[in-house]
Amino acid sequence: MKLLTVGSVGFDTIKTPFGSVKSTLGGSATHFCLAARYFTVPCLISAVGTDFTGIHSKKLLARKIDLSGLEKVKGKTMAWGAEYGYDLNTRNVTFTHLNVLDTYEPKVPKKLQNTEMVFLSAVSSTQQKQVLGQMKRAKFIAWDTISYYIHNDRKGLMKNLGDVDCCFINDTEARQLTKEHNLLKAAKGIMGMMGKKGTLIIKQGEHGCLMFQGSKIFHLPGYPLEDVIDPTGAGDSFAGGFLGYLAKTNDFSWPNLKKACVAGSVMASFCCEQLGTKGLLNLSSNKIKHRIKEFKTLTHFEG
């Protein structure tokens, strides 16, 4: 099953205690597609500026990401900068220039309008809606956002939430969106916005994730890493692994959603081990399978 996503493609300038990188290819949709492509063909809907060259698109095309929905328009590609503190848990966003994404109106190419799985990533609620409006056979719609939009466009986001099957959000954003500190109460609040059938995944960074559906709860820890270099894009990589796995298996049952969490956590772990998208670029399927297997040893007990 194909998997279409709308999100940001941009240039990231990142500084962590373990290294730094300037204007490297990044953005929510980039991380998402680079993780999802190990499981399915991701189709990227976004816009870049004239400073986005063949070198950049080659990086994505070489990994079989469908770029027919990536528009090149006059102006500059989105740019984002961040600095991380020693423990990598504190992040200071130094700049966000939406540039061409600011006024972008997503257009889904005709041949992709029948895609059954859709991931609405960190763009405005209007842009998320514009994409959904063009999809003709969407069967499983997933949603994510960032603090910036919760702060500036709470109502629009909450309205979109009513139309989705699956919501990804991190713990801080879940608290921000619901104004509720306790995560279980925050989860109930978000599930209320989503309707009864929704699946909610609260990402907890190094602590893993909690998944909710009706009264069911599942927890998966983060993969234990000795060298965390750069957590940028880990949440999008999680979503890429999760939805990529679902697209590959075409099974949306609760037991398979749990397995999708494992795939997501594994992709997030690879993302964190190197700067920018580097950790996602050249993985072997054996390396991925091995980590997936290790999760069972890490979490299961008898009796």
The binding site for its own copies (CB under 8 A) comprises 86-87, 181-185, 204, 207-208, 210, 216-221, 224-228, 255, 258-259, 261-262, 296-303
Give the amino acid at 2. K
- Least distance to its own copies from the beta carbon of 268, Å? 15
> Which string of b and e fits 204-238 if b means at least 16 CB within 10 Å?
bbbebbbbbbeeeebebebbeeeebbbbbbbbbbb
Q: Residue 201: beta bridge partners?
A: 168, 211
- Least distance to its own copies from the beta carbon of 213, Å? 12
- Least distance to its own copies from the beta carbon of 115, Å? 26
What are the angstrom distances between the C-alpha of 289 and each of 139, 165, 283, 303? 27, 27, 11, 26
- Least distance to its own copies from the beta carbon of 88, Å? 8
Strands 10-16 and 19-26, bridge-based pairing = antiparallel
Identify which of residues 5 and 232 has a Cβ nearer to its own copies in the complex. 232
Identify which of residues 62 and 227 has a Cβ nearer to its own copies in the complex. 227
Return phi, psi of residue 231, to 5°.
Answer: -80, 0
- Least distance to its own copies from the beta carbon of 181, Å? 6
Identify which of residues 133 and 224 has a Cβ nearer to its own copies in the complex. 224
Identify which of residues 225 and 281 has a Cβ nearer to its own copies in the complex. 225
- Least distance to its own copies from the beta carbon of 270, Å? 16
Identify which of residues 103 and 299 has a Cβ nearer to its own copies in the complex. 299
- Least distance to its own copies from the beta carbon of 180, Å? 10
Identify which of residues 55 and 226 has a Cβ nearer to its own copies in the complex. 226
Identify which of residues 101 and 190 has a Cβ nearer to its own copies in the complex. 190
- Give the chain's end-to-end CA distance (angstroms, integer): 37
- Least distance to its own copies from the beta carbon of 177, Å? 16
Q: Other C-beta atoms within 10 Å of 148: how many?
A: 13
Identify which of residues 24 and 204 has a Cβ nearer to its own copies in the complex. 204
